[in-house]
Structure 1
Amino acid sequence: MSTRTLYLIRHGKAEDHSFSKRDYDRNLVDKGKVRSRLIGLKLKHQLTHNNTLLISSSANRALQTAEIFCDLLNYHTKDIQLEKSIYEAYFLEILKAINKVPNDIDTVLIFGHNPGLSDLTNYLCDSYIDLKTSHIAKIILPEGFNFSEVSGSTCQLETVITE
């Protein structure tokens, strides 16, 4: 049995809210792209490529962040699983997407939004964190656990990857 890893990744810095564009359509700004690349490079050095699944909110800024990570991790962007339910989701909605991950997957990267990702980390790990843009919560599942078994207070927050 191998230990599985969950990475909860908050999207990079996006355009400010405006009346001329829906929140869902906001794009990454240059600072967000640069920070996402820096943190993606840090992740690249700890990530193994066996049986990895990327799941992203379908909102522009989350998908653009996922695409930057794909470029760095040599992962095909067409293999990103888009999950509209992650956009503006309560943390238990994000957990539902994680619980559907097949048992042959060892590593999951979720690209999404706050407060859902921070709340999910705190729920799973009995932690108290607030993920900033581009930051990653690296969460370790208990030995022998599948993603379908993840629930409150079952996991360990190993680290928060920042720049």
Structure 2
Amino acid sequence: MKLLGLFRHAKSDWHDAKARDFDRGLNARGRKGAALMGRHIVEHGVKWEQIIASPAVRVAETIELAAKAAGREVPVIWDRRIYLASSVILTEVLHDLPDSVNKAMMVGHNPGLEDLIFDLVPDDGTCPLRAKVEDKFPTAAYAVLECDIDSWADLHDGCAKLVYLMRPRDLDPELGPEPADW
């Protein structure tokens, strides 16, 4: 059994129209959400052995603010393949994890993270959390999947169960969707 955490970057800043997508940082709401979720992830209690993340600025800032709020130092493996990747590419990245790691968290972007949940968790009507992801896997959302595998190389469609989901708005209603989010 492997445990996979998925953490989407917090709300990014769209005010600088000239900035490359990769270079966009977080806005004020994103900074608040990242800190809130960082504290929550630690309180949730999973001790992540490996964190792999997109090197995009908004992801790096999310991790930095989450770790600072949680009072933790977080060693991260930055992997450019995660930046705006499809679920197929994300699965390939996870296949590369050493089997000595039993609890890995990936920090990245949608739609890849959301699609990864849809691919790994069967749509059999038994998972109410999957239905919430179908509604939306918003910025700074955190999900935990139990993967019925012994080796990361064996990660495949339908092998996981979504056992935990937390969105910033679940902890602070002010971080819920704004009309522009829909």
Question: Under a length normalisation based on structure 1, what TM-score does the superposition of the two structures give?
Answer: 0.88
7, 28, 49: which one aligns with 1:30: 28
Separation in structure 2 between the aligned mates of residue 133 and residue 118 of structure 1, nearest angstrom: 11
Aligned residues: CA RMSD: 1.7
| Greater helix fraction, Structure 1 or Structure 2 | 2
Task: Give the 4+ runs in structure 1 shifted more than 6 A.
Answer: none
For the 8 Å contact 1:52–1:106, the answer to whether it is kept is: yes
Greater Rg over alpha carbons, structure = 2
CA deviation digits over 1:49-105, x for unaligned, max 9?
3x61011101100111122233326234xx310011111111110111111110111
Greater RCO (Cα-Cα under 8 Å, separation 6 or more): 1
Separation in structure 1 between the aligned mates of residue 96 and residue 117 of structure 2, nearest angstrom: 18
| Unpaired segments ≥5 residues, structure 2 | 123-129, 172-182
Greater Cα offset, 98-107 or 126-135: 126-135
Separation in structure 2 between the aligned mates of residue 70 and residue 94 of structure 1, nearest angstrom: 23
Separation in structure 1 between the aligned mates of residue 104 and residue 15 of structure 2, nearest angstrom: 29
3-state SS of paired residue (1:45):
helix
Question: How many residues are treated as equivalent by the alignment?
Answer: 157
Separation in structure 1 between the aligned mates of residue 67 and residue 96 of structure 2, nearest angstrom: 22
1:35-50 → structure 2 map (5 Å cutoff): 35-49=33-47
37, 41, 58: which one aligns with 2:55: 58
Alignment correspondent of 1:139: 145
| Unpaired segments ≥5 residues, structure 1 | none
Alignment correspondent of 1:70: 67
Separation in structure 1 between the aligned mates of residue 44 and residue 102 of structure 2, nearest angstrom: 14
Per the TM alignment, residue 43 of structure 1 is displaced from its structure 2 partner at its CA by: 1.2
Residue 157 in structure 1 maps to residue 162 in structure 2: yes
3-state SS of paired residue (2:98):
coil
